[in-house]
Homo-oligomer: A and B are copies of this chain.
């Protein structure tokens, strides 16, 4: 394996909240990011701005903390120009640490910068190398440590409280002739989202990627976030998908689909199908199963109920599938809201205990509506540990 030849890793970030690899190796978020160095078998070194030494020390994971100034960044910038200062600084650290062999370069940054950096490092005698997914760090992050699972549990507990409270609030809003009112005003997607934002604030969470609250035909488009102007009405399918992040950088992901009042038969059948597929998937998942097989099981259930699935594309019997189960069953959750492992037809690796994934089958009927139900769960040797605690209730009456 190519990664076995990597002798050192360098993780670069200008910010860390959107830089999961750096957050992971540094032990938390650094306002201005930094550069992390680790030779195989040696103690790591973290280089940060003068302003972030205090923050870096507080995180505590890396004990050797230097500043850019310690490594002469300003002098290098004067001598080689600002754009070449960082490659020179990285080369200086690697030489001082006596690193030989290939160096893996990680962290979320502009790709043009990364490709240029690798070229510059090569000119300075450093063999910087790319890596295909899963990288060393992706692989490390894929299986959660104990403190990570605890944190993911805490975020999912908070998120569950929000979803329950929002469903209760919706259930208890004033209704007149199928219309819903918040404080005597017609309830809209905008006003419900504002209510949810206050609930997030109260729990100390943010939703930097937004929240999906899609009603009626819009719910048939799995990624339609909902139109703020849409009125909340009875009897319409509502897909409520919330994915908040805590200050620690860890996320949760929960979806419930429901109607206010009574649902029609077509909606109910969609709900029952997705419920069955989700329950079947949760029952089936455990360490040792592959994402591909889990996905296949969910498709079995949904196809038996007469809906199409993306399997047709993978079998080659269709070029695309626009109704039915049109996406994959789930994805990993951690310092990002979408990471390995994936529960899809392309995922042949076996799941391991300690991985955290979403389980989120959905069935969509364009022009009518859709249903998706999603929990975030930990894979265990014998099954799953569901981090989400929200009833799968369909009719809020």
> Which residues of A line the B interface, CB within 8 A?
12, 14-15, 17-18, 21, 29, 31-32, 50-52, 54-55, 67, 69-70, 74-75, 77-78, 82-84, 104-119, 128-133, 135, 137-138, 194, 197-198, 200-202, 204, 206-210, 221-225, 245, 247, 313-314, 316, 319-322, 326-327, 337-338, 345-346
> Which chain B residue lies CB-closest to A75?
B316
In the complex, are the beta carbons of A106 and B114 less than 8 A apart?
Answer: no
* Contacts known (A133-B83, A210-B247, A320-B69); A223 close to B114, Cβ less than 8 A: no
B83 touching A112, Cβ below 8 Å: no
Evaluate whether A111 and B105 lie within 8 angstroms (CB atoms) in the complex, with A54-B224, A74-B313 already known: yes
Inter-chain contact B112/A109, CB cutoff 8 Å: no
Which residues of chain B are within 8 angstroms of A118 by Cβ–Cβ distance?
111, 115, 118, 130
A322 to chain B, nearest CB (A): 7
* Cβ-defined contact, B108 with A18, below 8 A: yes
CA distance A17 to B206 in the complex (A): 14
Query: Are B114's CB and A135's CB within 8 A?
Result: no
- Chain B hits for A104, CB < 8 A: 112
A77-B346, A346-B82 known; A31 vs B223 contact (CB < 8 Å): yes
Shortest A335–chain B CB gap in Å is 12
Query: A110–B202 contact, CB under 8 A?
Result: no
- Residues from chain B with a CB closer than 8 A to the CB of A197 are 200-202, 204
Q: Report the minimum CB–CB distance from A43 to chain B (whole Å).
A: 22
Query: Which one of B14, B116, B221, B225 contacts A132 once the chains associate, using CB atoms below 8 Å?
Result: B116
Determine if A106 and B117 form an interchain contact, defined as CB atoms under 8 angstroms apart: no
Contacts of A17 in B (CB 8 A): 208-210
**A105–B12 alpha-carbon span in the complex (Å):** 18
Minimal Cβ-Cβ distance residue in B for A318: B69
CA of A120 to CA of B105, assembled, Å: 16
Q: Pick the contact of A221 from B12, B51, B133, B322 — CB < 8 Å? A: B51
In the assembled complex, the Cα of A115 lies from the Cα of B115 at a distance in Å of 5
When A17-B208, A31-B223 are in contact, do A114 and B132 touch as well, CB less than 8 Å? no
Which B-chain residue is minimally distant from A3 (CB atoms)? B112
- Offer 5 A-B interface pairs, CB within 8 angstroms, sorted by A: A51-B221, A54-B224, A69-B313, A82-B346, A105-B112
CB distance from A326 to the nearest CB of B (A): 6
CB distance from A293 to the nearest CB of B (A): 16
How distant is the Cα of A322 from the Cα of B338 in the complex, in angstroms?
Answer: 40
Residue A106 contacts which of B77, B111, B133, B345 (CB distance < 8 angstroms)?
Answer: B111
Query: Is B113 in contact with A107, judged by CB distance below 8 angstroms?
Result: no
Q: Which residue of B lies closest to A314 (CB)?
A: B74
Q: Are A105 and B109 in contact (CB under 8 A)?
A: no
**With A104-B112, A108-B18 known to touch, is A201 a contact of B204 (CB < 8 Å)?**
no
Q: What residues of B have a CB within 8 angstroms of the CB of A207 in the complex?
A: 206
Extra 15 A-B pairs, beta carbons < 8 Å, given A108-B108, A111-B118, A194-B201: A17-B209, A29-B210, A31-B209, A50-B326, A51-B326, A54-B223, A78-B314, A82-B133, A111-B117, A112-B137, A114-B114, A118-B130, A194-B202, A197-B200, A197-B204
Q: How far is the CA of A109 from the CA of B106 in the complex (A)?
A: 9
Contact B129 A115 (CB under 8 A): yes
Q: In this complex, what residue of B is CB-closest to A9?
A: B112
Contacts of A245 in B (CB 8 A): 208
Please give the distance in Å from A244's CB to the nearest CB on chain B. 10
Contacts of A138 in B (CB 8 A): 110
Q: In the complex, which residues of chain B have a beta carbon less than 8 angstroms from the beta carbon of A337? A: 15
* Distance, CA A313 to CA B346, complexed state (A): 53
